[in-house]
Amino acid sequence: MESKINKLFDSKNRRFEIPSYQRAYSWEKKQIEQFIEDLKNAGNQYYLGHFLFEIKEENVLYVIDGQQRLTTLIIFFSVLKRELENRKEKDETVKIDLSDITDYYLKDMRKGTQKFKTVLDDNNFFVEEIIEAKHNHSHELDTTSKIRIRKAKELFLKEFAETSTETLEKWCELVENATITEYIVKDKTQATQIFAFQNDRGKKLSNLEILKAYFMLQIYLSSNGKGMIEDNIVYLEDELSNIYKQIVRINLDEDEVLNYYWRAISGKGFNSDEVIKSVKEKIVSLETDKSEWIKDFVSGLSQAFQTVEKIEKSQESYVKDLFYLNNMALAYPFLIKVYHLKAEEKAINRLTKLLENITFRYLLRGGRAEIESRLNQYLVHLTAENLNKNIDDIIWRIKNDGWWGYWNDGQMKSCLNSWFYQNRVDNYVLWKYELYLCDDNHPKPHKVSFEDLIRNESIEHIAPQTPTNGDPVANGYGIYEDEENPENGIVSGEWLNRLGNLMLISKSHNSSIGNKPFDQKLKSYGEANLLNQQKEIASFVSDKDNPAWNKDTIEKRHTKILDATMDIWNLDNI
């Protein structure tokens, strides 16, 4: 039925809660700014949409649909109240009864009860950050939803501080009198049916939300009797509650997790069709109980979210390396599947090492050839029992099968031997080489992390792209262009952008030495606690009194790095 926000909250005893199986706060800057823009352009009428509630107990309503808007309204009223209180303290005239804002929307001062509760994991933070507006409290911003709540508050604070009291009062009236439609149901069966029908009709929802609505409808239609519907919905709610707890703890987008999970279990692997369409087709085709399949699917999806969190927080080196390579779409379906199958940790570690190796070779080569079609049969037919056998078979095929020849050792060496500057993995290779140098036979400064590398390091051309005064020989570099024997020139022989002439160096260091003569660069490489690959440059120079960096020294260093990379990504070490 049609109503208004002030009518929805008209009873000081009425309270609202977001159940655990609903998503946590997800509005970001874009939605908050749009909310504010709508207020500015609303004139005298404002429509806030449809709300669906389930009666939890007397005077307590579960928010089934509309939780994002209601949470935002509570943040709006909290910030507005504090801003207007500050202005009253400065003797400004405020026409709004600010105690009414507290009593109706924030907290029943007589009973001390919270009028609106967000999801359980965020609620204590919400109380202190929003309801009580404490400047200092002990709750950390340990979930993305808490970060979003604070960001929404800060956006309102900034906007309100720049807005006149008269306009703020107008906005308050607009929101309180905003038109809504509300529907209150008494049980989960009704709530499920209505939620499903209204949420799968073109609204901009995530794929997970669309499937959630569809699953609820299918349980309603396929379960026998109200009791079974209730039991199946409760099971679904519990698993969704686990999923929504995980969503705010991971960096991966929820629909990406859904897609990777579907590739892991669908039987088609990387060739899986669009997930919503495929899942619906699967359910329609089922002759057995649809509810059981849905429950298994959602339970497995819940585990997939837990697996993603485990992978994101892993300190295992090859897992971290996969993230550094930034091509997790290849790895996630495999990792989700092996954890789903409860494979042995030792075998999973082998798989992770193989995936890093393959991903590196794939990115190094680039080009049109794609690896997914080769790996797909292994993803589809993977079991806990055949995992090690499949790893061995993939290694064999990379070495011996012509269809996999794009990524064999010969191709890897060819790519490393050619123009390497600005390859997708140039930083990664030089970082791995630095770690390779940090063995027992070398001094051990701090091992630079890949995160530090991306943030602080750049790639230095030892023989610069543009030598000082345009004269490389006079500045301690070899001949750049050798007309009689082009292969002997740094540029004509295509050595300028090869591995042997490239080095990791801090951005500030790189800027300070620029294209200076080689003897000045060499001196700077030996200063302070720099990387081993900088310190070792002197070892390639034969004449210490008249140091030169030419085609021969570049080639020597290139050979050493090439041998190291072939060892680092040796398939026999997996």
Structural domain of 11:
2-186
Cβ count near 559 (within 10 Å): 13
| 427 and 399 share one domain | no
**Do residues 490 and 500 touch, judged by C-beta distance below 8 A?**
no
- Compute the distance between CA of residue 190 and CA of residue 559 in angstroms, rounded to an integer: 71
**110, 243: one domain:** no
Same domain membership, residue 194 and residue 154: no
- Could you tell me if 434 and 464 lie in one domain? yes
Q: Which two tokens stand for residue 301?
A: 């999806």
447 and 537: one domain?
Answer: yes
Instruction: Please indicate, yes or no, whether residues 323 and 450 belong to a single structural domain of this protein.
Output: no
Do the beta carbons of residue 18 and residue 237 sit within 8 Å?
Answer: no
- Which residue do the tokens 């700014």 mark? 33
Shared domain check, 547 and 517: yes
Specify whether 267 is located in the same domain as 401: yes
Residues 233 and 164 in one domain: no
Say whether both 237 and 178 belong to one domain.
no
227 and 165 in a single domain? The answer is: no
Return the beta strands (E) in 68-160 as ranges. Answer: 107-108, 113-114, 116-117
Helix 328-340 and helix 317-325, axial crossing angle in degrees, nearest 10: 140
Note whether 376 and 270 are within 8 A (CB): yes
Final residue of a structural domain among 354, 377, 411 = 411
Q: Give all strands (DSSP E) within 304-361, no chain letters.
A: none
The CB-based long-range contact list for 514-522 (8 Å cut-off, 24+ gap) reads 514/464, 515/464, 515/465, 515/466, 515/467, 515/468, 516/468, 516/475, 517/468, 517/475, 517/476, 518/462, 518/463, 518/475, 518/476, 518/477, 518/547, 518/548, 518/549, 519/476, 519/547, 521/462, 522/547, 522/549
Write out the H or E segment, with its range, that includes residue 301.
helix 290-312
Instruction: Quick: pLDDT tens for 360-393.
Output: 999 999 876 789 999 999 999 999 999 999 999 9
Structure tokens at 163: 């807005």
**Structural domains of the chain, count:** 3
538 and 422, same domain (yes or no): yes
Residue where one domain finishes, among candidates 186, 210, 228: 186
Sequential pLDDT tens for the chain (574 residues): 788 999 998 766 789 999 888 888 999 999 999 999 999 988 888 888 888 898 888 889 999 888 999 999 999 999 999 999 999 999 999 999 999 899 889 987 677 789 999 998 899 999 999 999 988 888 888 888 999 999 999 999 999 999 999 999 999 999 999 999 888 887 766 666 666 555 543 336 789 988 998 898 888 888 777 788 888 888 998 999 999 989 988 999 999 999 999 999 999 999 998 999 999 999 999 987 899 999 999 999 999 999 999 999 999 999 999 999 999 999 999 999 999 999 999 999 999 999 999 999 999 998 767 899 999 999 999 999 999 999 999 999 999 999 999 999 999 999 999 999 999 999 999 999 998 988 755 444 446 678 877 777 889 999 999 877 777 888 899 999 998 999 999 999 999 999 999 999 888 888 888 888 999 999 988 776 678 899 999 999 999 889 999 999 999 999 999 999 999 999 999 9
> Which of 26, 97, 66, 34 shows the shortest CA–CA distance to 247?
26
Domain end residue (candidates: 130, 152, 186)? 186
pLDDT digits (tens, 9 = 90+) for 115-152: 999 998 899 999 999 999 988 888 888 888 999 999 99
